[in-house]
Amino acid sequence: MSVKQLQVDILNLKNQNDVTILAHYYQPIEIQEIADYVGDSLGLSRTAKEEVNTEYIIFAGVNFMAETASILNQDKHVLIPNPESCCPMAAYLTPEKVIKFKKEYPGLPVVMYVNSTAAVKAESDICCTSANAVKIVERISREYNVDSVLFGPDANLADYTEQISGIKCLKMPENGHCYVHSQITIEDIKIVKKKYPNAKLIVHPECIRGVRELSDYVGSTTRMYNYVRDNSSTDNEFIIGTEVGLLERLTQDFPGKNFYLAKDKLICYNMKKHNLELIKYILENLDDKAFEVKVPPEIARRALKPIEKMLD
Ligand code: 13P
Ligand code: SF4
């Protein structure tokens, strides 16, 4: 069946049922096109909390994002098209490891990037996303009256947040990273900048420091999108240092502008495990429990606090 036909079928099924489809910017473009809302982690969490009032949410993103939506909507059914879509960065931390860090640094607040499991969030004081990490660290350090925080699991986001806020972000663990963003090297940037000398370079904070320092702008996926939107009358070319899904979205929304990837194959294979066939199947089988994301109630209760503290 063609992509167009699948999209038509999905939209018809969605209209016949009480369903909202949320999609991250890193989803294949044909999924972004049928979503009710496309956003970054922060935008999707906010939408899940404040705007969704349907009985079912289909979440096209990695499973920590769907878990967050489920924790925020315990009276709704959150369904993930491919339950194997997970973020490898989340595996860098277990609840046991967080408890060990807390014992080693008593009195320091635990700031947890949302790219973590619900059980790890349950051991944390506040969550953050790449869009609000600086603000969250500044605020929690004031609340606890400290100049250091424990920060996990992304060491590059910790480094970026520390650089901007001036507050020490102790990494939990030292080497947590995203395989998509951290593969971009300084050498890659030199090559791509030489090829497109007039392009603005915009990158995600999960990139390494040397790459961030060569860029014109650092921000979450929505902020990168907004940077292009707000500068598109002056700038024509942009080098994108994040997952290819954002480049596809930008290419569609800003025809006439040129977008180049910072290097080939910036693909999050985990995000790409969803497809239109799976979404159609779920819409035809909304009560198939195999796709439902459920967090054990006690973990959901404890993980809700740091998530809500972030959103507040
Ligand atoms: P955003 O916070 O920009 O949505 O990033 C999420 C993510 O997984 C980045 O790799
Ligand atoms: Fe995880 Fe990186 Fe994929 Fe984001 S891009 S979901 S951090 S592996």
Q: Looking at the structure, tell me whether residues 164 and 201 fall in a common domain.
A: no
**Count: domains in the chain:** 3
Task: Give the model's pLDDT for residue 113.
Answer: 97
Instruction: Answer whether residue 266 is part of any domain.
Output: no
- 47-106 pLDDT, tens digit per residue, is 988 899 999 999 999 999 999 999 999 899 999 999 999 999 999 999 999 999 999 999
Instruction: Answer whether residue 83 is part of any domain.
Output: yes
DSSP assignment of 293-305 equals ----HHHHHHHHH
Q: Looking at the structure, tell me whether residues 83 and 14 fall in a common domain.
A: yes
Q: How many residues are there in the chain? A: 312
Q: Which of 146, 171, 196 is the last residue of a domain?
A: 171
Reduce the secondary structure of the chain to three states and give it as a string.
CCHHHHHHHHHHHHHHCCEEEEEECCCCHHHHCCCCEEECHHHHHHHHHHCCCCCEEEEECCHHHHHHHHHHCCCCEEECCCCCCCCHHHHHCCHHHHHHHHHHCCCCCEEEECCCCHHHHCCCCEEECCCCHHHHHHHHHHHHCCCEEEEECCHHHHHHHHHHHCCEEEECCCCCCCCCCCCCCHHHHHHHHHHCCCCEEEECCCCCHHHHHCCCEECCHHHHHHHHHHHCCCCCEEEEECCHHHHHHHHHHCCCCEEEECCCCCCCCCHHHCCHHHHHHHHHCCCCHHHECCCCHHHHHHHHHHHHHHHC
Q: Looking at the structure, tell me whether residues 113 and 161 fall in a common domain.
A: yes
- SS3 at position 195: helix
Q: Looking at the structure, tell me whether residues 246 and 275 fall in a common domain.
A: no
Mean per-residue pLDDT, 181-210: 98
Pick from 25, 44, 115, 243 the residue to mutate for probing ligand 1's pocket: most ligand atoms within 8 Å of its CB: 115
Mean per-residue pLDDT, 186-214: 98
Q: Looking at the structure, tell me whether residues 95 and 149 fall in a common domain.
A: yes
Instruction: Answer whether residue 311 is part of any domain.
Output: no
Instruction: Answer whether residue 206 is part of any domain.
Output: yes
51 or 187: whose pLDDT is higher?
Answer: 187
Instruction: Answer whether residue 307 is part of any domain.
Output: no
- 10-29 pLDDT, tens digit per residue, is 999 999 999 999 999 999 99
Domain of 228: which CATH number? 3.40.50.10800
> Residue 88 Cα, ligand 2 centroid: separation in angstroms?
7
Task: Give the model's pLDDT for residue 49.
Answer: 86
Structural domain boundaries, residue 125: 90-171
Q: Which of 145, 171, 197 is the last residue of a domain?
A: 171
Enumerate residues lining ligand 2, CB below 6 A.
62, 87-89, 115, 178-180, 243, 268, 270-271
pLDDT beyond 80 at 233: no
Instruction: Answer whether residue 138 is part of any domain.
Output: yes
Mean per-residue pLDDT, 249-261: 95
Average pLDDT taken over every residue of the chain: 96
Q: Which residue minimizes the CA distance to atom 2 of ligand 2? A: 178
Q: Looking at the structure, tell me whether residues 140 and 195 fall in a common domain.
A: no
Q: Looking at the structure, tell me whether residues 165 and 233 fall in a common domain.
A: no
Alpha-carbon distance 251 to 146, whole Å? Answer: 44
Q: Looking at the structure, tell me whether residues 250 and 275 fall in a common domain.
A: no
